[in-house]
Amino acid sequence: MDPRLLGSCVTAPLFVSDRSFCGYAVYVAIDARLAAPLPDGLSFEAGKVVLVP
């Protein structure tokens, strides 16, 4: 993981955890390669919609 991203707001595709009930959790542990930084001014809600296929 890029250390510059530590503490940044990120998003990831839903259901990337090994637990089927974590898609909408506030905190979840995932592979760092799946995380994408949220652009400035983009809300968490909007960031999540961007990744829905």
Per-domain residue ranges for the chain? 3-50
Q: Are 27 and 5 in contact (CB under 8 A)?
A: no
pTM value surpassing 0.75: no
Q: What is the pLDDT of residue 53?
A: 59
Residue 50, pLDDT score = 66
Distances (CA, A) of 13 to 7, 38, 41: 19, 13, 19
> What does the pLDDT read at residue 8?
81
Q: How many CA atoms lie within 13 A of 34 on its CB side?
A: 12
Alpha carbons 11 and 51: distance in angstroms, whole number:
8
* pLDDT score for 23: 56
> Parallel, antiparallel, or unpaired: how do β-strands 36-37 and 10-11 relate?
antiparallel
| pLDDT tens column, 6-51 | 788 888 776 655 555 555 666 777 788 888 888 888 887 787 776 6
- Measured between alpha carbons, how far is 48 from 25 in angstroms, rounded to an integer? 12
